[in-house]
């Protein structure tokens, strides 16, 4: 006898995966969970390793770093989405001036950065000075917890934001300091615009752009 019905376990797993990968808006109640998952996602990121060179204290420092950026900049002015194990912060064209870290944010981050605060300030100033002149959406942060990488959650968040930009007929800009991420972004239509060596002993930063699609 052949059972032609759906396997209830397989169906349940597919439903669970679909729910885990579905983007939803981030609220203030998600601050702790999102900051922790981004801290894990960026623990080996070259820029974050440069900002926070002590491996033993980096996870806690990154948690504070993302909590500050999330609560002071991106939650008030950006579009923040998450899945079960990934999160993304986007900034629409009309909000980009407000979403740049202000003096209050920089002061809070300086306490976490210690002797790296000077370099962070220079990076913020350089980014503001070299911001794209065209109207665009900006992908400020995208990260997935290592326990859930390659399960499509980061890709789901990326597609969600790109769909908004495409609907508005606008390009998307981002920066990455992780060379292995460039191929991933190229898969979604991004092209490298420039390689930027960060000041001091900092890593290379790649700026990327994706043209709008119909």
Give whole-number Cα distances, 111 to 33, 72, 115, 175, in Å.
22, 15, 9, 24
Which three-class secondary structure state does DSSP give residue 164?
Answer: helix
Per-residue pLDDT band at 19 (split at 50, 70, 90): low
Q: What is the mean pLDDT of residues 110-120?
A: 89
- The mean pLDDT value for 165-171 works out to 97
pLDDT at res. 18? 62
The predicted structure's pLDDT at residue 6: 46
Query: Residue 12's pLDDT band (boundaries 50, 70, 90)?
Result: very low
135-145 pLDDT tens trace: 999 999 999 99
pLDDT tens for 181-208 read: 999 999 999 999 999 888 777 889 899 9
Average pLDDT score over residue span 104-124:
87
What's the whole-number average pLDDT of the chain?
87
Full-model pTM: 0.87
Q: Which residue has the tokens 């994706």?
A: 210
Domain annotation for the chain: domains and CATH numbers: 23-210 (3.40.630.30)
Return the ∠ at Cα 13 (arms to 147 and 41), rounded to 5°: 15
Q: In angstroms, what is the C-alpha Rg of the chain?
A: 18
Q: Which region, left, alpha or beta, applies to residue 200 given φ > 0 means left and ψ of -120 to 50 means alpha?
A: left
């Amino acid at each position: 006898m052949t059972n032609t019905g759906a396997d209830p376990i397989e169906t349940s797993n597919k439903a669970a995966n679909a729910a885990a990968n579905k983007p939803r808006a981030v609220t203030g109640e998600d601050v702790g969970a999102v900051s922790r998952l981004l801290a894990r996602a960026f623990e080996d990121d070259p820029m974050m390793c440069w900002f926070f060179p002590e491996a033993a204290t980096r996870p806690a420092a990154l948690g504070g770093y993302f909590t500050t950026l999330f609560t002071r900049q991106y939650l008030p002015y950006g579009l923040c989405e998450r899945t079960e194990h990934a999160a993304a912060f986007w900034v629409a064209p009309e909000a980009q001036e407000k979403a740049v870290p202000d003096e209050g944010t920089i002061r809070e981050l300086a306490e976490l950065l210690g002797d790296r605060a000077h370099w962070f300030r220079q990076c913020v100033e350089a980014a503001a000075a070299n911001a794209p002149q065209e109207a665009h959406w900006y992908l400020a942060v995208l990260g997935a917890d290592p326990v859930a990488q390659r399960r499509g959650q980061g890709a789901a968040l990326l597609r969600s934001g790109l769909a908004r930009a495409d609907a508005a007929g606008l390009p998307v800009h981002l920066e990455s300091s992780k060379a292995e991420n460039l191929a991933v972004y190229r898969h979604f239509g991004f092209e490298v615009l420039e390689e930027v060596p960060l000041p001091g002993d900092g890593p290379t930063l790649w700026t990327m752009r994706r043209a709008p699609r119909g």
